[in-house]
């Protein structure tokens, strides 16, 4: 064996050895990762199933609770996250790439829903309000304080249907929901709802954010080419840059 072929053999072994971790890294990491946390009327298990079907090649994980989402995003650092704007801001390290829009709007109105009587916004500091927990206790307190001139007493839930529960069981005076969710509660309940609009409050519907310094080409492509059924599930009709 010539010196050349010997050195080639050594080089081949070295290249192979160096390639092993790369190959195994790729196979371990698998596809691009997209973590989703979006409070909707659809169960996380069902959303995971439907999103996996409509986004081939992407490893998707859907979360029902903010604490689980935050913990796993910080630990796994997925390539992209699909969630509410304030969640993206609180978690950090991700930049918005696509904004979900509905009827041309990327933001939506929120309303206070109560039983029988509207809420006098001047009494907000003395009543309890139910909200879906998207930021944890401290984050939600700050959010609520931003919505109202004073800080109301909050009751946080992590299932949309529990919002109705806390209202029916007199645990809160009102629930704060996106206006878009009101029809869900109307369909579920025979309660005599009273709606108090909050004209000065609008929140971002949903956004896709990419890990800073990374790229999530498949996630961006999957969302922009998403079928209307999946879009409806995410409560949007278009993705905007």
CA-based nearest residue to 90, from 74, 106, 114, 112: 74
Q: Tell me which of 48, 52, 143, 189 binds other proteins, using CB under 8 A.
A: 189
Beta bridge partners of 63: 37
What minimum distance in Å lies between the beta carbon of 74 and other proteins?
14
- Using CA atoms, how far residue 205 sits from 36, 58, 86, 101, 108, in Å, is 13, 22, 10, 7, 6
Figure out which of the listed residues 31, 48, 52, 65 binds other proteins, where binding follows CB under 8 A: 65
Residue 216 touches other proteins, criterion: CB under 8 A: no
Size of the site for other proteins (CB under 8 A): 27
* Least distance in angstroms from the C-beta of 134 to other proteins: 14
75 binds other proteins (CB under 8 A): no
Q: 155: which strand partners?
A: 130
How do 107-115 and 94-101 pair as beta strands?
unpaired
Q: Does 179 bind other proteins (CB under 8 A)?
A: no
Looking at 16, 46, 74, 150, which residue binds other proteins (CB under 8 A)?
Answer: 46
Answer whether 30's CB lies under 8 Å from 173's CB. Answer: no
Q: How buried is 165 (Cβ within 10 angstroms: 0-12 exposed, 13-18 middle, 19+ buried)?
A: middle
Q: Which stretch binds other proteins (CB under 8 A): 17-25, 54-62, 183-191, 225-233?
A: 183-191
Is 137 near other proteins (CB under 8 A)?
yes
The residues binding other proteins (CB under 8 A) are: 42-43, 46, 65, 67, 115, 137, 155-159, 161-162, 164-166, 168-171, 187-192
């Amino acid at each position: 064996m010539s010196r050349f072929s010997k050195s080639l053999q050594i080089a081949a072994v070295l290249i192979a050895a160096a390639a092993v971790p790369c190959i195994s890294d790729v196979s371990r990491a698998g596809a691009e990762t997209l973590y989703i946390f979006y409070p909707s009327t659809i169960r996380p298990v069902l959303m995971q199933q439907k999103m996996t079907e409509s986004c081939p090649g992407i490893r998707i994980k859907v979360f029902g609770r903010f604490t689980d989402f935050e913990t796993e995003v910080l630990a796994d650092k997925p390539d992209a996250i699909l969630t509410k704007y304030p969640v993206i801001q609180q978690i950090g390290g991700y930049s918005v790439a696509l904004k979900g829009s509905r009827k041309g709007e990327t933001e939506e109105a929120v309303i206070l829903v109560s039983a029988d009587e509207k809420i006098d916004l001047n009494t907000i500091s003395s009543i309890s309000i139910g909200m879906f927990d998207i930021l944890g206790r401290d984050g939600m307190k700050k959010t609520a304080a931003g919505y109202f001139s004073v800080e109301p007493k909050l009751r946080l839930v992590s299932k949309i249907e529990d919002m109705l529960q806390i209202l029916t069981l007199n645990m809160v005076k009102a629930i704060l929901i996106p206006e878009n969710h009101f029809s869900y509660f109307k369909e579920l309940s025979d309660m005599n709802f009273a709606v108090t609009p909050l004209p000065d409050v609008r929140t971002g519907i949903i956004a896709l954010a990419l890990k800073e310094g990374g790229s999530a080409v498949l996630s961006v492509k999957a969302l922009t080419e998403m079928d209307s059924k999946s879009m409806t599930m995410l409560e949007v009709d278009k993705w905007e840059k």
